[in-house]
Amino acid sequence: MGRRKQYEPNDLLEQARRLFLEQGFARTSISDLEERLGINRKSLYGEFGDKQTLFEAALKLHDAVNVSRRFESLETQDAGVVAIRATIEGLGASARGPAAGRGCLLCNTASERSATDPASRKHVRAYFKRIRAAFQNALTNARAAGDLDPSVDVEAEARFFASHGIGQLTIIRSKAAPDIVEAAAEVALDHLRSLRPG
Protein backbone atom coordinates (compact mmCIF):
# COMPACT_ATOMS: atom_id res chain seq x y z
CA MET A 1 0.00 0.00 0.00
CA GLY A 2 1.44 3.35 -1.08
CA ARG A 3 2.00 6.29 1.20
CA ARG A 4 -0.84 8.75 1.47
CA LYS A 5 -0.26 12.10 -0.23
CA GLN A 6 0.60 14.90 2.16
CA TYR A 7 -0.85 17.55 -0.15
CA GLU A 8 -3.97 18.49 -2.08
CA PRO A 9 -3.36 18.68 -5.85
CA ASN A 10 -5.86 21.55 -6.25
CA ASP A 11 -4.00 23.60 -3.64
CA LEU A 12 -0.73 22.97 -5.45
CA LEU A 13 -2.26 23.99 -8.76
CA GLU A 14 -3.44 27.26 -7.26
CA GLN A 15 0.06 27.94 -5.93
CA ALA A 16 1.49 27.21 -9.38
CA ARG A 17 -1.06 29.54 -10.97
CA ARG A 18 -0.02 32.34 -8.66
CA LEU A 19 3.64 31.78 -9.38
CA PHE A 20 3.12 31.79 -13.15
CA LEU A 21 1.03 34.95 -12.74
CA GLU A 22 3.85 36.67 -10.85
CA GLN A 23 6.79 35.52 -12.95
CA GLY A 24 5.48 34.25 -16.28
CA PHE A 25 6.27 30.90 -17.87
CA ALA A 26 9.86 31.52 -18.96
CA ARG A 27 11.07 32.95 -15.66
CA THR A 28 9.50 30.19 -13.58
CA SER A 29 11.88 27.25 -13.18
CA ILE A 30 11.15 23.78 -11.89
CA SER A 31 13.17 24.73 -8.81
CA ASP A 32 10.89 27.73 -8.29
CA LEU A 33 7.87 25.44 -8.52
CA GLU A 34 9.40 22.95 -6.08
CA GLU A 35 10.02 25.73 -3.57
CA ARG A 36 6.59 27.39 -3.92
CA LEU A 37 4.60 24.16 -3.97
CA GLY A 38 6.67 22.49 -1.27
CA ILE A 39 7.10 19.21 -3.11
CA ASN A 40 10.07 17.61 -4.84
CA ARG A 41 10.59 17.30 -8.57
CA LYS A 42 9.53 13.65 -8.68
CA SER A 43 6.20 14.40 -6.98
CA LEU A 44 5.70 17.44 -9.19
CA TYR A 45 6.18 15.43 -12.37
CA GLY A 46 4.15 12.54 -11.02
CA GLU A 47 1.19 14.77 -10.19
CA PHE A 48 1.19 17.23 -13.08
CA GLY A 49 3.55 15.96 -15.78
CA ASP A 50 6.00 18.48 -17.18
CA LYS A 51 6.10 22.25 -16.73
CA GLN A 52 4.09 22.85 -19.92
CA THR A 53 1.28 20.56 -18.78
CA LEU A 54 1.21 22.23 -15.37
CA PHE A 55 1.11 25.65 -17.02
CA GLU A 56 -1.84 24.67 -19.18
CA ALA A 57 -3.67 23.37 -16.12
CA ALA A 58 -2.97 26.72 -14.42
CA LEU A 59 -4.44 28.55 -17.44
CA LYS A 60 -7.61 26.45 -17.21
CA LEU A 61 -7.89 27.17 -13.50
CA HIS A 62 -7.40 30.89 -14.09
CA ASP A 63 -10.17 30.90 -16.67
CA ALA A 64 -12.52 28.88 -14.48
CA VAL A 65 -12.05 30.99 -11.35
CA ASN A 66 -10.47 34.38 -11.95
CA VAL A 67 -11.83 35.18 -15.41
CA SER A 68 -15.26 34.00 -14.31
CA ARG A 69 -15.11 36.24 -11.26
CA ARG A 70 -14.31 39.28 -13.39
CA PHE A 71 -16.59 38.71 -16.38
CA GLU A 72 -19.33 36.22 -15.47
CA SER A 73 -21.81 38.99 -14.59
CA LEU A 74 -21.84 39.78 -18.32
CA GLU A 75 -22.75 36.19 -19.19
CA THR A 76 -26.07 35.96 -17.32
CA GLN A 77 -29.48 36.05 -18.98
CA ASP A 78 -30.31 39.43 -17.47
CA ALA A 79 -26.92 41.11 -17.93
CA GLY A 80 -27.17 44.64 -19.33
CA VAL A 81 -25.83 48.15 -18.95
CA VAL A 82 -25.42 47.84 -15.18
CA ALA A 83 -23.18 44.78 -15.57
CA ILE A 84 -21.14 46.42 -18.33
CA ARG A 85 -20.62 49.54 -16.25
CA ALA A 86 -19.63 47.53 -13.17
CA THR A 87 -17.14 45.48 -15.18
CA ILE A 88 -15.48 48.57 -16.65
CA GLU A 89 -15.35 50.25 -13.25
CA GLY A 90 -13.85 47.09 -11.75
CA LEU A 91 -11.12 47.06 -14.37
CA GLY A 92 -10.41 50.72 -13.70
CA ALA A 93 -10.03 50.05 -9.98
CA SER A 94 -7.78 47.02 -10.45
CA ALA A 95 -4.54 49.00 -10.66
CA ARG A 96 -4.94 49.79 -6.95
CA GLY A 97 -5.79 46.20 -5.95
CA PRO A 98 -4.19 42.74 -5.90
CA ALA A 99 -3.96 42.64 -9.71
CA ALA A 100 -1.52 45.57 -9.76
CA GLY A 101 1.73 44.40 -11.32
CA ARG A 102 0.22 41.00 -12.05
CA GLY A 103 -2.64 41.56 -14.47
CA CYS A 104 -4.29 38.41 -15.80
CA LEU A 105 -2.49 35.13 -16.47
CA LEU A 106 -4.20 34.70 -19.84
CA CYS A 107 -3.46 38.27 -20.93
CA ASN A 108 0.14 37.84 -19.82
CA THR A 109 0.34 34.59 -21.77
CA ALA A 110 -0.99 36.34 -24.87
CA SER A 111 2.07 38.59 -24.94
CA GLU A 112 4.62 36.07 -23.63
CA ARG A 113 3.73 32.76 -25.32
CA SER A 114 0.82 32.97 -27.73
CA ALA A 115 2.94 33.79 -30.78
CA THR A 116 5.28 30.82 -30.31
CA ASP A 117 3.35 28.16 -28.39
CA PRO A 118 0.27 26.63 -30.09
CA ALA A 119 -1.18 25.31 -26.82
CA SER A 120 -1.00 28.73 -25.18
CA ARG A 121 -2.44 30.32 -28.30
CA LYS A 122 -5.44 27.99 -28.11
CA HIS A 123 -6.16 29.02 -24.50
CA VAL A 124 -5.69 32.72 -25.28
CA ARG A 125 -8.02 32.61 -28.29
CA ALA A 126 -10.71 30.87 -26.25
CA TYR A 127 -10.28 33.53 -23.56
CA PHE A 128 -10.63 36.41 -26.00
CA LYS A 129 -13.67 34.74 -27.55
CA ARG A 130 -15.27 34.30 -24.15
CA ILE A 131 -14.82 37.95 -23.16
CA ARG A 132 -16.14 39.22 -26.49
CA ALA A 133 -19.16 36.93 -26.25
CA ALA A 134 -19.81 38.08 -22.67
CA PHE A 135 -19.89 41.74 -23.66
CA GLN A 136 -22.00 40.93 -26.71
CA ASN A 137 -24.51 39.10 -24.51
CA ALA A 138 -24.86 42.08 -22.17
CA LEU A 139 -25.03 44.59 -25.04
CA THR A 140 -27.67 42.54 -26.85
CA ASN A 141 -29.77 42.37 -23.71
CA ALA A 142 -29.35 46.10 -23.11
CA ARG A 143 -30.42 46.96 -26.65
CA ALA A 144 -33.46 44.66 -26.39
CA ALA A 145 -34.42 46.33 -23.11
CA GLY A 146 -34.26 49.78 -24.73
CA ASP A 147 -31.20 50.83 -22.73
CA LEU A 148 -29.12 51.26 -25.90
CA ASP A 149 -29.94 53.02 -29.14
CA PRO A 150 -31.47 50.51 -31.60
CA SER A 151 -28.78 51.38 -34.15
CA VAL A 152 -25.95 50.15 -31.90
CA ASP A 153 -23.83 47.46 -33.59
CA VAL A 154 -23.48 45.07 -30.67
CA GLU A 155 -20.86 42.92 -32.39
CA ALA A 156 -18.57 45.87 -33.06
CA GLU A 157 -19.13 47.30 -29.58
CA ALA A 158 -18.44 43.91 -27.99
CA ARG A 159 -15.09 43.79 -29.77
CA PHE A 160 -14.34 47.31 -28.54
CA PHE A 161 -15.16 46.60 -24.89
CA ALA A 162 -13.36 43.25 -24.94
CA SER A 163 -10.27 44.95 -26.36
CA HIS A 164 -10.57 47.63 -23.69
CA GLY A 165 -10.69 45.02 -20.93
CA ILE A 166 -7.72 43.10 -22.27
CA GLY A 167 -5.78 46.33 -22.70
CA GLN A 168 -6.55 47.42 -19.15
CA LEU A 169 -5.33 44.14 -17.70
CA THR A 170 -2.19 44.33 -19.83
CA ILE A 171 -1.20 47.80 -18.66
CA ILE A 172 -2.02 46.82 -15.08
CA ARG A 173 0.57 44.06 -15.47
CA SER A 174 3.09 46.69 -16.62
CA LYS A 175 2.54 48.59 -13.34
CA ALA A 176 1.07 51.58 -15.11
CA ALA A 177 0.11 54.43 -12.79
CA PRO A 178 -3.40 53.84 -11.40
CA ASP A 179 -4.62 57.20 -12.71
CA ILE A 180 -3.86 56.05 -16.28
CA VAL A 181 -5.95 52.91 -15.82
CA GLU A 182 -8.75 54.87 -14.18
CA ALA A 183 -8.73 57.49 -16.94
CA ALA A 184 -9.02 54.77 -19.58
CA ALA A 185 -12.00 53.34 -17.72
CA GLU A 186 -13.66 56.76 -17.69
CA VAL A 187 -13.28 57.04 -21.46
CA ALA A 188 -14.88 53.60 -21.88
CA LEU A 189 -17.72 54.62 -19.56
CA ASP A 190 -18.24 57.82 -21.57
CA HIS A 191 -18.44 55.70 -24.70
CA LEU A 192 -21.01 53.43 -23.06
CA ARG A 193 -23.10 56.47 -22.15
CA SER A 194 -22.95 57.65 -25.78
CA LEU A 195 -24.69 54.44 -26.84
CA ARG A 196 -27.77 55.22 -24.76
CA PRO A 197 -30.97 56.28 -26.56
CA GLY A 198 -31.24 59.95 -27.48
CB 182 within 8 A of CB 172: no
Distance, in Å, from the CA atom of 91 to the CA atom of 181, rounded to the nearest integer, reads: 8
Among candidate residues 110, 100, 102, the one with its CA nearest the CA of residue 131: 110
The b/e string for 1-33 (b: 16+ C-beta within 10 A; e otherwise) is: eeeeeeeeeeebbbbbbebbbeebbeebeeeeb
Contact between residue 83 and residue 76 where contact means Cβ atoms under 8 Å apart: yes
Q: What average pLDDT does range 31-59 have in this prediction?
A: 92
Per the CB < 8 A criterion, the answer to whether 37 and 16 are in contact is yes
* In the chain, % of residues over pLDDT 70: 96
pLDDT digits (tens, 9 = 90+) for 143-168: 999 999 999 999 999 999 999 999 99
Query: Would you call 101 helix, strand, or coil by DSSP?
Result: coil
| Mean pLDDT (whole number) for 25-31 | 94
Confidence of residue 1 (pLDDT cuts 50, 70, 90): very low
Among 98-107, 125-134, 173-182, the range scoring the smallest mean pLDDT is 98-107
> What confidence category does residue 97 fall into, taking pLDDT thresholds of 50, 70 and 90?
confident
The string of pLDDT tens digits covering residues 63-95 is 999 999 999 999 999 999 999 999 999 999 999
**Residue 127: which residues within 8 A CB-CB, separation 6 or more?**
63, 67, 106, 110
Confirm if 84 and 145 have CB atoms less than 8 A apart. no
Name the band, by pLDDT with cuts 50, 70 and 90, for residue 9.
confident
Q: How far apart are CA 63 and CA 65, in angstroms?
A: 6
| Distances in whole angstroms, Cα of residue 1 to Cα of each of 4, 46, 123 | 9, 17, 38
pLDDT reported for residue 73? 97
pLDDT at 2 over 50: no
**Using CA atoms, how far apart are residues 56 and 60, in angstroms rounded to an integer?**
6
